[in-house]
Structure 1
Amino acid sequence: MSFKQKHIKNAFELPKETVLNQFYERIISIPIEARTNLKNELTTVIGDERTRGVFIRYGWHCGVSDAEKAMSLQWDDEMDLVNAGPKFHRLHGYLDKVEILEMSFDENKKCNFIEVLWINTFEASQYLKAKGLSKEPVCHNLCGYASGYLSKVLQQPILVKEVECRAMGHEQCKCICMPIEKWGEEITSDLSYYQANSMIKELDEITAKLKIERDHLSKASDIHRQLIEELLSNQGLQKVVDILYETTGLTVFIEDEYNQIIVKSGNLPDQLTLHTFRDSNTTFVRYSDKLSLLRTPIINGEQMKGYCSFVYTGESQPNELDYMIIEKAAITSSLILMNESIKINTEQTIKRSFLNDILEGRLAKEEMYKIAYYLDFNPSSTYWMITLERFVKESKIEHEIAFNEELIRHIHLFLKERKINSIVSQKLNKIIILMEYPTFESLHLSQSTFIDQLLKHCSRRFPKYKISVGVSSVIQEISQSATLYKETLAALRATNNRKNVYYFEELGIASVLFQIQDDVLIERFVKQHIGRLLEVDDNEFELIKTLFAYIDNGSSINNTAKELSMSISGLRYRLAKISEILNHDLNDTQYAFTLYLAINILKAKGKIEI
């Protein structure tokens, strides 16, 4: 009797070598270690999931092949073929033993359920030896083999799923064999491993992704080329956001390091309050149900100089191309900001030197006009000046020069945004701002409103500092800037805790004394002339107010009594008392003028209110 005429029950009773030679025309042996190393290399190259699919399909084909060989022998019913499966397992050395724990078929002899125990599988042993415990079953080859074998001999699609695995810490490996339709959604992810075209499909998907990435790179490269062209043509940040908006259709804006929007393009919501953002990576931030931002930092050296952002509405989200474009735009913006910074610093250095030369009287008028024309200042235009003096709330000020430069840069940006032709400099730790008055007038703001906006702008960046401001009058020529500076210093000396902005024109006659740079002399002048009166006067300063009203009304008893709502006899008594305290005749015109000046200084300094 030939081997093929043998009954399948008896085929495996022959020596193993004989069975192998009869079943297979040629067979090769693969060391388990070599197979394990191959699996590890595949995992490194194509990942865990793809490697699992490779070995499941390899097992499937081996199982189908053995099923065809089993079906070529004699057999009484399908149970003979099913029971031959474990014998093939052992024949190949996949495991030591197979125990069928449960098996059921329906009335049409269709398989319902098979539960099998695999004893000492080679895949579990190798995994434990190399990697220790696993979080999921590892006998992929055996699952594929059993699925292929049973599907072939039972003539129905069977899927085998390992539910317990020795590599996971179970005593032995256990699997469930059921028709695919009985598994339901539980095996949705497993089915792809058994599909012959899954690898081809996956390759097609990868090819499609590569094509998309190639298109993305091409578009990003094209946008980057446009950005570089604009950079080389000395275009500013506005051109950058315009290009981004035109090419992507996304609203885009660039903000500075203080989260203030510098330029924008597209339909940006009017009421957009930017959150403080200090992330050094490109980040997608959801602000509300209606608005999200893709923000990337603009870095110059190691300093954060701002952020470039795409705006998304509703549920829209950025794709890979958006990330690529915005990061390239951030690099271009960084270069533009660096160029602008160099240009601004150079320009400001020249302007500051020019202003300092004017204040120190180092320039002849002809030379002054020539430089002013070169710096785009109209020498014959009107000008005004404000001088800022800061007081830190803390006891110690560190990095004084660096701080002043930072404050000057911050003020310069404020003025530049409002297109005010100006020079910002520092002298004696004070910040000086000379402005061409017509460019200020174009804002249609009062001086007080403008200064209030400037102080708020500074306080947002430097909240620890209190800033006092002296404001000059308006002069007709830039050559008179030294006079403006003296006026601002005089106004600064009048500032106090209750009033931090003083206008030179408010000083009145006291402006003469406030131009004395030594505050001690001014205080001595006041004390010398009305010091005695201050010592005896009450907190309401009734005597000083009476004296001021009397002098202010030209020493008229009647007009003064009327203004103060006093009786003439009461007023005469109070004036006599004042004259006695001061030990001087109040009708002395020169002396009265001196008293009037001293009281005006007290008013200007906010020590009394009249």
Structure 2
Amino acid sequence: MDKSLPQHRHTTFTEDGLIYMEGSRTILIPTSSVGILRKELYENIGMNRVKGFLIRYGAHLGREDAKIIKKKFKNETTVTKIEKGPVYHQLRGHTKATITRMKVKNYQDKISLYLEGTWEDSYEGFEYVEQFGIADAPVCHTLVGYANGYLTEICNQKVVFKEISCVGIGDKICKWVCRTVDYLTDEMSEELKFFKEEPIVKELELTYEKLLEERNHLKNVSTINNKLTEEILKGKDLPAIMNLVYELTDTAILVESAEFKPIASGGLSQNEWKEINESFKEYIHCQKLKRKPFYQTEIISLENHTRLTSPVYLQGELNGYCSFICDLEDKEPHLLQMIIERISTICSLYLLNKRTELEAEERVKGRFLEQMIHGEYTKEEIVRRSHFVGVDLFQDYYMVVVCIETLFDSYKKDLTFLEEVMNETSLYFQKQGKSILTGQQGNHLVMLLLKQEVEEEGIQKVCEHYLETFSKKYPSVSFRAGISMSSDEIEKASESYQEALTSVRMTSKTNNLMTFESLGILGPLINSNNKKEVERMALYTLRPLGEKLEDHKNLELIKTLYSYLLNGGNLERTASDLSLSLSGLRYRIGKIEKVMEQDIKHPEVSYKLLLSIQALISIGTLDLEKY
């Protein structure tokens, strides 16, 4: 009695459990096990190497089946032999293969071939999704290999398969195209590299050579980094350091600010920098328009030069650019990139150190100015201490108070921002070559400027340009400034401060700069030691509106009255300033006259009222800008 298992015309099952396919012993493996094996291979030798491994594994299976077909059907046509391929492929349990288009030509001992077809129920596609999720590219590498090996053996020349859709990337079915080398496209020729088996020893040799090269690069970079660190510790400045970089690398180097101004260079003259500066500036401008921020090292090829540029970041902000200027064909780009990134870091540390020094110096100067304002020093003490702040205080000077109004929701943020503006102010005047002391009083920035250094341009023009620059730099912040009269008595700095403070209180949104001189008699009147008497008289003159300044309606009428008086009684200009209709303004003027029981058109009355409102503003009792 025959005890063997049921037979198939291609497959034999023996009674001892062995399986033979076309006389060759075969084993059955669950597809899930193959999926796990694939996952382990990915994690241990990498996706590209696994792809080549699976393709070559599949190609071996395909070649072996093709040899069987050629032997069994040696008298059949080439087309028949090709059509047997999908049948045997399906018997392997890999997929259900179908040829949808075929073009075959015989050339002596070779066959020229073009095929299109589908794979349904690909085990590789389903297992990949199960193990990894949806892929970015087709994943049926064993199927590709099998079909390639089979048809290469049949056609007697190299055949390349390529998946054009795959269930592994979310498609409903796998589709493929096949060509012999005479039909090959550039896109498909890329797949040939996966059929070239590279021994693992060879790959290890290449890896070792790369590691050796990388080690040498790191050694060179480390040597340069150590030498540069030594120079920084010796107190060398950035230009000296960049000259050393040029000597060590034989490559021109340039460090530029975020505004594209040269900070330091090595192996590059000023004329050479000017030639390349405009093209780089234009390139960065175009990148900004394209919303492509500059975060990492880039090779930038421009019309008149090529540069390897690394951004210099300081406390999270772009502070400049560090670039090698060279023809990279004669250099080692990878090595230069490693060096330029180290130098960029060194530049960041250098600039941070300089900024810290500057901030510490400005704090000392600011504290000194604040103590002078509070009258804590005698003239002799100021003489003795002025040497340490580097500003000659024994000449005429101006005091300037800058009022800074932000939209921050906390006092702490206001103070942090004010400190930032103080540092930026010091840098601003430092770039102009002007000596300055900066300090802080409440939410005000206080500056002492030497008359000699601003005389050519004029203190008013200097302050106008400062306000314009910082308003553009911080568009959401309001900047207003008041300027004292010039003084040659540094021991009376507190009086000059009061003059500037009085002036800044008289500024408005439409007039953000005021000099003490422009206040006329009002300035000296308020600056004397009779503020309480002046306040009491001003409030009395404005009665009954001045009796309750916290009342919203009273403030509304006082603001209307002030604008009306400033415009000389001109209704059209007043209505425009207050965004009121003429009828609405006339109603308010009538109400003011009725409440105050005064004719505000009378010159003497209008003068007293205007002077009283200005007095209250200048001493800080009234702030119509916040209303």
Q: Distance in 2 between matches of 1:168 and 1:432?
A: 65
Does the alignment pair 1:54 with 2:53? yes
Q: Which residue of 2 aligns with 1:458?
A: 470
Instruction: Give, as a single letter, the amino acid of the residue that structure 2 aligns with 1:254.
Output: S
Indicate yes or no: 2:463 matched with 1:448: no
How far, CA to CA, are the matches of 1:448 and 1:105 in structure 2?
91
Question: For the Cα contact (< 8 Å) 1:472–1:491, is it kept in 2?
Answer: no
CA contact (8 A) 1:105 1:112 kept: yes
User: Residue 309 of structure 1 contacts residue 326 of structure 1 at CA under 8 Å; is this kept in 2?
Assistant: no
Do 2:36 and 2:131's aligned partners in 1 also have CA atoms closer than 8 Å?
Answer: no
Which residue of the partner structure matches residue 313 of structure 2? 298
What is the distance in 2 between the residues matched to 1:212 and 1:41?
Answer: 30
- Per-residue deviation, 1:120: 7.4
1:189 and 2:158 are equivalent in the alignment: no
Q: Shift of residue 407 of structure 1?
A: 3.1
Structure 1 residues without counterparts, runs of 5 or longer: 1-10, 530-536, 542-580, 583-594, 606-610
Distance 1:484 1:78 in 2: 109
Secondary structure of 1:309's partner? Answer: strand
Shift of 1:351: 2.6
What is aligned with 1:253?
A: 256
Aligned partner of residue 182 in structure 2, secondary structure: helix
Q: Distance between the aligned counterparts of 1:280 and 1:241, measured in 2?
A: 22
Query: Does residue 355 of the first structure (1) align with residue 356 of the second (2)?
Result: no
Instruction: Kindly state the Cα deviation for residue 44 of structure 1 after the two structures are TM-superposed.
Output: 3.1
How far 1:312 sits from its partner (Å)? 9.9
Q: Distance in 1 between matches of 2:203 and 2:18?
A: 42
Match of 2:41 in 1: 42
RMSD of aligned alpha carbons = 6.1
In the alignment, the residues of structure 2 paired with residue 426 and residue 120 of structure 1 have an alpha-carbon distance, to the nearest angstrom, of 76
Counterpart check, 1:470 vs 2:483 = yes
Identity rate, percent: 22
Partner of 2:485: helix, strand, or coil? strand
User: Conserved in 2, the CA contact under 8 Å of 1:71 and 1:81?
Assistant: no
State the alpha-carbon separation in 2 of the partners of residues 168 and 497 from structure 1. 61
CA drift of 1:467 comes to 0.9
Deviations along 1:271-316, one digit per CA (max 9) or x if unpaired, are 779669996954879999999996746243xxx3443325799999
Which string of whole-angstrom CA distances, capped at 9 and with x for unpartnered residues, describes residues 198-251 of structure 1? 989987886776677556645554554455345434456666777778866454
Change (3 A) 1:211 1:473: same
Q: Is the 8 A contact 1:282 1:327 kept in 2?
A: no
Is the 8 Å Cα contact of residues 371 and 377 (structure 2) preserved in structure 1?
yes
Change over 3 Å in CA distance of 1:524–1:189 after alignment to 2: same
Q: With the length of structure 2 as denominator, give the TM-score of the two structures.
A: 0.60
Question: What code does the residue aligned with 2:321 have?
Answer: S
- Matched residue type, 1:455: L
Q: Which residue of 1 aligns with 2:437?
A: 423
Match of 2:321 in 1: 309
CA distance in 2, matches of 1:290, 1:108: 57
- Structure 1: distance between partners of 2:471 and 2:79: 90
Give the deviation of 1:366 after TM superposition.
Answer: 3.7
CA distance, structure 2, for counterparts of residue 468 and residue 378 of structure 1: 24
Q: Which has the larger radius of gyration?
A: 1
Judging changes above 3 Å, is the alpha-carbon distance between structure 1 residues 518 and 407 closer, same or farther for their aligned structure 2 residues?
farther
Deviations 1:304-337 (A, max 9, x none): 3443325799999997667655654554444344
CA change 1:311–1:469 in 2 (3 A) is farther
Cα offset, 1:433, TM superposition? 1.9
The 1:427/1:87 distance shift into structure 2, 3 A limit, reads closer
> CA deviation digits over 1:15-59, x for unaligned, max 9?
8899969977xx785745554433222233444443222122233
Matches within 5 A, 1:43-192: 43-64=42-63, 82=81, 89=88, 93=92, 104=104, 106=106, 108=108, 110-113=110-113, 123=124, 139-152=140-153, 154-159=155-160, 179-185=180-186, 187-192=188-193
- Between stretches 95-104 and 40-49, larger displacement belongs to 95-104
With over 3 angstroms needed to count, the CA separation of the structure-2 counterparts of 1:77 and 1:310, relative to structure 1, is same
1 CA distance for matches of 2:162 and 2:521?
A: 101
Q: Distance in 2 between matches of 1:336 and 1:28?
A: 70
Query: Could you tell me whether the CA contact under 8 Å between 1:158 and 1:178 is conserved in 2?
Result: yes
Match in the other structure for 1:409: 423
CA 1:325–1:520 in structure 2 vs 1: closer, same or farther (change >3 Å)? Answer: farther
Cα distance, 1:145 vs structure 2: 4.0
Partners of 1:360 and 1:80 in 2: CA distance: 104
d(CA) in 2 for partners of 1:58 and 1:293? 44
Mark the CA change 1:66 to 1:344 in structure 2 (over 3 Å): closer, same or farther: same
Please give the residue correspondences for 1:207-606 in structure 2 after superposition, counting only pairs within 5 Å. Answer: 217-218=218-219, 220-222=221-223, 224-235=225-236, 249=252, 251-255=254-258, 263=263, 265=265, 266-267=273-274, 268-269=277-278, 281-282=295-296, 296=311, 298-300=313-315, 304-310=316-322, 328-329=342-343, 331-378=345-392, 381-390=394-403, 392=405, 398-399=411-412, 400-427=414-441, 430-437=444-451, 445-463=457-475, 464-475=477-488, 478-479=490-491, 481-482=493-494, 484-485=496-497, 488=500, 500-503=512-515, 512-513=524-525, 515-516=527-528
CA-CA distance at 1:516 after TM superposition: 1.9
The answer on whether the counterparts of 1:81 and 1:153 sit within 8 Å (CA) in structure 2 is no
Deviations 1:409-451 (A, max 9, x none): 232222222333332123465433223455556xx53333322
Counterpart secondary structure, 1:189: helix
Q: How many Å separate the matches in 1 of 2:566 and 2:47? A: 91
Q: Quick one: structure 1 residues 209 and 419, their matched pair in 2 at CA, closer, same or farther if it must change by over 3 Å?
A: farther
Task: Describe the SS at the equivalent of 1:156.
Answer: coil
- Give yes or no for contact 1:60–1:144 (8 Å, CA) kept in 2: yes
How far the C-alpha of 1:185 sits from its partner, in A, is 4.2
Equivalent position SS for 1:269? helix
- For 1:144, give the aligned amino acid: G
Counterpart contact for 1:66–1:149, Cα < 8 Å:
yes
Q: 1:472 to 1:57 in 2, by over 3 A?
A: same
Q: 1:524 to 1:340 in 2, by over 3 A?
A: same
Which secondary structure state, in structure 2, belongs to the residue aligned with residue 370 of structure 1?
Answer: helix
Q: 1:289 to 1:519 in 2, by over 3 A?
A: farther
The answer on whether the counterparts of 1:137 and 1:168 sit within 8 Å (CA) in structure 2 is: yes
Give 1:58's aligned amino acid.
Y
Whole-Å separation in 1 of the counterparts to 2:50 and 2:481: 73
Counterpart code for 1:408:
M
- CA gap of 1:347–1:93, structure 2 versus 1, over 3 A, is closer
Gap change, CA 1:320 and 1:453, over 3 Å in 2: farther
1:388 is matched by which residue type in structure 2? V
Q: 1:397 to 1:470 in 2, by over 3 A?
A: farther
Rounded Cα–Cα distance in structure 2 between residues aligned with 1:134 and 1:430: 60
Contact 1:408 1:424 in 2 (8 A): yes
Residues in 1 aligned to 2:510 and 2:122: alpha-carbon distance in whole angstroms? 89
TM-score by length of 1: 0.62
Q: Counterpart amino acid of 1:51?
A: V
Q: Give, in angstroms, the shift of residue 384 of structure 1.
A: 0.4
Deviations 1:521-558 (A, max 9, x none): 669999999xxxxxxx99879xxxxxxxxxxxxxxxxx
The range that moved more, 339-348 or 264-273, is: 264-273
**1:428–1:94 CA distance, 2 compared to 1 (3 A):** closer
Distance in 2, Cα, partners of 1:434 & 1:355: 8
- AA of the residue aligned to 1:451: C
Question: 1:298 is aligned with what amino acid?
Answer: Y
Deviation digits for residues 130-153 of structure 1 (CA, Å, limit 9, x no counterpart): 678888765533543454354446
